[in-house]
């Protein structure tokens, strides 16, 4: 086994100051979280109605710079609703990346639409503006203000880039391409809370952005998600559709459309209100950890993934690139045996049984990354 693997395990244990098992990413809670959760319990408003849901939405909107935030039970449910509101319908197509967590494609499928896979950039790990342009110029046409796939005859309704591990993709270029081709831009910013591109928060470039608060995210309530947007009408409809489309009334139960029980519980929101208060400190802590990893990797011949140009990443999950698949597997086996959790990137979406039939462009970069990339421990250090 290579010496630098042993050295990496040693530096990780030094950073996290423990000889015990080191998880990939664990949450950090304090008395503040307990205080707000107990207050929520004492109020008896623990479901989808309560002051903390409203407070959380206000805090999130202020932090991201979005005009509106709508809290949901998960990032996947937030993405599902965002796609519906963006006009994604059954038998339409949504452009996205194969290098992503499955929630992205699942949300597209919930709408009855099909994902179309284009490649990512190696330096951002996110959707490639160049690959997007190549696909559209080769397959798409605009007719009556709508974009259609010339081969399948289906309407291309949306594009969903994902900011992988908190690293912003080339989102301004992607935004311009989507505008040119009359395609709705919905950002999968699930992993990038606290990340900015050219001083603008991720999730605020598109028509809507989606954030996740799953148990392993930079701030968490064990679960939860949110839609952020600057469009007042979309925000109003998002809140309505995520609360079973119930028409407001003191006692009557009337619903004016098919809705979803996607509203975040007040109990989760209370936890998140406390977590958001610490977000800046968490980001700074994680950026310091990433810097220490970067220095170590430079000194030991390892390739550490750094934030792209013009970006300030939250470094949600740190990553290194190895020489090939064989080295990746050897690294994963050795380091995990040492009680230090590491993992590869997700199986490419176009390789999963339920998405093998979907159109996939040349995915050379995605395949190259999938065979080499591993995530290393990235928790906020105490």
Q: CA 279: distance to chain centroid?
A: 16
Pick the CATH number of 31-276 from 3.30.2030.30, 3.40.640.10, 3.90.1300.10, 3.30.460.80: 3.40.640.10
SS3 call for 115: strand
CATH class of segment(s) 3-27+279-376: alpha beta
pLDDT of residue 4: 74
* Comma-separated ranges of CATH 3.90.1150.10 domains in the chain: 3-27+279-376
Provide the b/e sequence for 335-354 (b: ≥16 CB within 10 Å). beebebbbebbbebbbeeee
Task: Please name which of 226, 217, 204, 183 lies closest in space to residue 81, comparing C-alpha atoms.
Answer: 226
The CA distance from 280 to 324, in Å, is 36
Rounded CA separation 16/289 (Å) = 10
Residues 6+ apart with CB under 8 A from 179: 185
Residue with tokens 């949450």: 27
Could you tell me where in the chain the CATH 3.40.640.10 domains are found?
A: 31-276
pLDDT tens string, the chain, 382 residues long: the values are 455 789 999 999 999 999 999 999 999 999 999 999 999 999 999 998 899 999 999 999 999 999 999 999 999 999 999 999 999 999 999 999 999 999 999 999 999 999 999 999 999 999 999 999 999 999 999 999 999 999 999 999 999 999 999 999 999 999 999 999 999 999 999 999 999 999 999 999 999 999 999 999 999 999 999 999 999 999 999 999 999 999 999 899 999 999 999 999 999 999 999 999 999 999 999 999 999 999 999 999 999 999 999 999 999 999 999 999 999 999 999 999 999 999 999 999 999 999 999 999 999 999 999 999 999 999 999 8
Tell me the two tokens of residue 262. Answer: 């996607």
pTM of the model: 0.96
Q: Give pairs for 363-367: CB < 8 Å, separation 24+.
A: 363/98, 363/117, 363/118, 363/119, 364/119, 365/119, 365/120, 365/121, 365/122, 365/128, 366/97, 366/98, 366/99, 366/119, 366/120
pLDDT given for residue 38 in this prediction: 97
pLDDT of residue 1: 42
Residue among 287, 310, 348, 42 nearest 172 (CA) = 310
């Amino acid at each position: 086994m290579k010496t630098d693997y042993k050295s990496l395990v040693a530096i990780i244990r030094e950073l996290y100051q423990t000889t015990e098992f080191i998880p990939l990413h664990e949450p950090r809670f304090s008395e503040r979280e307990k205080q707000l959760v107990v207050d929520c319990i004492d109020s008896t408003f623990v479901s989808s109605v309560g002051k903390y849901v409203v407070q959380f939405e206000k805090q999130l909107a202020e932090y991201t710079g979005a005009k509106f935030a709508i809290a949901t039970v998960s990032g996947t449910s937030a993405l599902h609703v965002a796609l519906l509101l963006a006009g994604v319908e059954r038998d339409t197509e949504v452009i996205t990346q194969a290098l992503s967590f499955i929630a992205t494609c699942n949300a597209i499928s919930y709408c009855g639409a099909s994902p179309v896979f284009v490649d990512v950039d190696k330096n951002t790990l996110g959707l490639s503006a160049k690959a997007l342009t190549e696909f559209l110029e080769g397959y798409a046409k605009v007719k009556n203000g709508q974009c259609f796939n010339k081969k399948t005859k289906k309407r291309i309704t949306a594009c969903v880039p994902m900011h992988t591990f908190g690293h912003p993709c080339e989102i301004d270029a992607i935004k311009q391409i989507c505008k040119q081709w009359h395609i709705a831009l919905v950002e999968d910013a699930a992993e990038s809370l606290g990340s900015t591109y050219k001083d603008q928060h991720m999730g605020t470039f598109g028509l809507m952005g989606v954030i996740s608060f799953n148990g392993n995210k930079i701030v968490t309530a064990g679960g939860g998600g949110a839609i952020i947007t600057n469009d007042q009408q979309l925000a109003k409809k998002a809140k309505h559709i995520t609360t079973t489309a119930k028409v407001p009334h003191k006692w009557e139960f009337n619903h004016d459309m098919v809705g979803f029980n996607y509203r975040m519980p007040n109990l989760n929101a209370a936890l998140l209100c406390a977590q958001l208060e610490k977000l800046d400190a968490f980001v700074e802590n994680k950026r310091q950890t990433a810097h220490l990893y970067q220095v170590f990797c430079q000194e030991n011949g390892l390739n550490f993934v750094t934030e792209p140009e013009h970006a300030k990443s939250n470094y949600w999950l740190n990553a290194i690139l190895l020489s090939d698949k064989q080295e990746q597997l050897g690294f994963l086996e050795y380091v995990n045996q040492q009680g230090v959790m590491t993992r590869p990137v997700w199986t490419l979406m176009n390789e999963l049984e339920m998405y093998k039939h979907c159109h996939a462009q040349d995915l050379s970069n995605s395949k190259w990354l999938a065979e080499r990339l591993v995530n290393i421990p990235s928790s906020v250090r105490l």
